[in-house]
């Protein structure tokens, strides 16, 4: 599968926000040259992601209702009310861990968790938001990131650095779910729980891109529409990234978010490295399978539709399922209090 875990030297945290590797780890696997057919496949898949933006933004311009199927897992639906919210009773001494590691999704950075961090710190928990490589204020060129291990290195470095008897709760948003799954395979004994927030909760042998594939239609028709693609190695090479149009990300990601948060995102989001979301994950029951997983569904999501989220939890059932009504793809902006309550509930589960 090409994403076996390797041991890397621990690095430092920068103010609880950024964790950046000071030197590159030794690559454990050999890399072979792509065949022409493989390059063409990668190109077509990359274009399909770009097409998704156009199709979904058009699809959700008007009102739309969706039927959500049922699953056997436990669910919670929480309204958001910042004005009348009361802090939930939290007995810190009974928690398995107070440390919550927040992993952003594609194009985002540690900055997107600012509301979540504030709410968690107010109740005495210890949130840490990380910039994955090429994201946020990490100065890595996204076009140079060639695999999921490289992209996720700040997360795996952090887990490698903590004592063996210490545990954390991992939270992954959107395609950050792939990095969380990879970390679960690498360091399962250091992870108390994993929370997938409208995230790519993939199966063994599946790519994060596969989660989006059901949303894609008539890809061949749009194969020449490459305005969203980044060719960091030249136009004669496969694309290396995606860069989003500001108007389209507003409709896809932030259809319920406050204008000030949309403005923050428009100024802060960076291009997305393609290789990590095109890579198949190798997940085992001995490692990944030993960590308790929880999925949080966002019911007004235009990026990862409720139907696709339902399919994810049906095919890969987690230990618990929660729902946030009226939330777009980014509940840390649109429904911060509902999202906070879910985090606290999961943190207190035995």
Which active-site residues does the annotation give?
174, 301, 329
Residue 302: other Cβ atoms inside 10 A? 21
**Whole-angstrom distance, CA of residue 291 vs CA of residue 219:** 36
Closest listed residue to residue 52, CA positions, set 237, 189, 210, 176: 210
283 torsion bin: left (phi>0), alpha (psi -120 to 50), beta (else): beta
CA distance 29 to 40: 23
Side-chain-side CA neighbours of residue 326 (13 Å)? 12
CA distances from 228 to 129, 166, 242, 252, 271 (A): 28, 42, 6, 15, 10
CA distances, 219 to each of 43, 213, 306 (Å): 12, 10, 22
Give yes or no for a contact between 137 and 131, defined as CB atoms under 8 angstroms apart.
yes
Alpha helices in 195-295 (DSSP H): 208-212, 246-253, 259-268
- Give, for 343, the enclosing helix (H) or strand (E): helix 336-348
Whole-number Cα distances in Å, 301 to 18, 70, 113, 319: 28, 18, 18, 22
> Distance between CA atoms of 28 and 278, rounded to whole angstroms?
19
Helix H, strand E, coil C: the string for 32-48 is: CCCCHHHHHHHHHHHHH
**What are the φ/ψ torsions at residue 173 (nearest 5 degrees)?**
-105, 135
């Amino acid at each position: 599968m090409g994403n076996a875990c390797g041991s890397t030297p621990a690095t430092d945290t920068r103010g609880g926000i950024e964790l950046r590797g000071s030197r590159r780890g030794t690559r454990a696997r050999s890399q072979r040259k792509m065949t022409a057919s493989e390059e063409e496949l990668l190109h077509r898949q990359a274009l399909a992601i770009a097409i998704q933006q156009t199709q979904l933004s058009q699809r959700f311009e008007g009102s739309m209702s969706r039927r959500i199927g049922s699953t056997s897992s436990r669910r919670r639906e929480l309204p958001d009310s910042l004005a009348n919210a009361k802090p939930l009773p939290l007995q810190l001494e009974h928690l398995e861990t107070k440390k919550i590691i927040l992993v952003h999704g594609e194009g985002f950075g540690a900055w997107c968790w600012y509301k979540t961090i504030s709410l968690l710190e107010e109740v005495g928990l210890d949130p840490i938001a990380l910039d994955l490589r090429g994201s946020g204020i990490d100065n890595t060129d996204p076009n140079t990131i060639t695999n999921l291990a490289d992209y996720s290195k700040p997360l795996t470095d952090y887990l490698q650095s903590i004592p063996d008897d210490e545990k954390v709760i991992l939270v992954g948003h959107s395609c950050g779910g792939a990095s969380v799954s990879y970390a679960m395979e690498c360091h399962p004994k250091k992870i108390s729980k994993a929370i997938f927030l409208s995230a790519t909760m993939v199966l063994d042998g599946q790519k994060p891109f596969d989660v989006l594939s059901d949303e894609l239609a008539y890809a061949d028709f749009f194969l020449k529409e490459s305005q969203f693609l980044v060719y960091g190695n030249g136009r004669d090479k496969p694309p290396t990234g995606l860069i989003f149009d500001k108007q389209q990300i507003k409709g896809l990601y932030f259809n319920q978010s406050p204008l000030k948060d949309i403005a923050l995102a428009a100024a802060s989001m960076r291009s997305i490295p393609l290789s990590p979301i095109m890579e198949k994950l190798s997940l085992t029951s001995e490692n990944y399978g030993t960590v308790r997983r929880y999925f949080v569904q966002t019911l007004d999501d235009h990026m990862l539709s409720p139907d696709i989220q339902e399919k994810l939890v049906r095919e890969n059932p987690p230990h618990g399922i929660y729902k946030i009504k009226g939330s777009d793809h980014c509940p840390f902006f649109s429904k911060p209090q509902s999202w906070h309550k879910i985090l606290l509930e999961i943190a207190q589960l035995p």
